[in-house]
Amino acid sequence: MRLLTVLRYACLVEAVSTLCLFGIAMPLKYFAGMPVAVKIAGPIHGGLFLLVMGLMVAAFSGELLRPKLALLVAIGAVVPGVAFFVDRKLKASQGGADTPVREK
């Protein structure tokens, strides 16, 4: 599988984990007295976040991402919901192949 495709899928899975953490686990912790939800969802989300950052660095250093798009990926990993917008940008930047999109 191509690196940008893996990055796209990782961004989407990480975005869903963010929404689950903020929308399900945290309300369960604070409103239902179930802190175990965050103890489970938190590390999963953290691992996915680190995966996305690692893939983003690999794609950027391999000259598959422009600096602006790499920054957008980083923002999308932090701000809930932005990753769905980032997915569209990554898909458009692929252009059907994993070819470098940054000028040397």
12-40 residue pLDDT tens: 999 999 999 999 999 999 999 999 999 99
Q: What are the C-alpha distances in Å from 36 to residues 12, 27, 46, 66, 83?
A: 24, 12, 16, 40, 26
Buried b (16+ CB within 10 A) or exposed e, 45-83: beebbebbbebbeebbeeebbbeebbebbbebbeeeebb
State the pTM of this model.
0.81
Q: Which two tokens stand for residue 86?
A: 């980032």
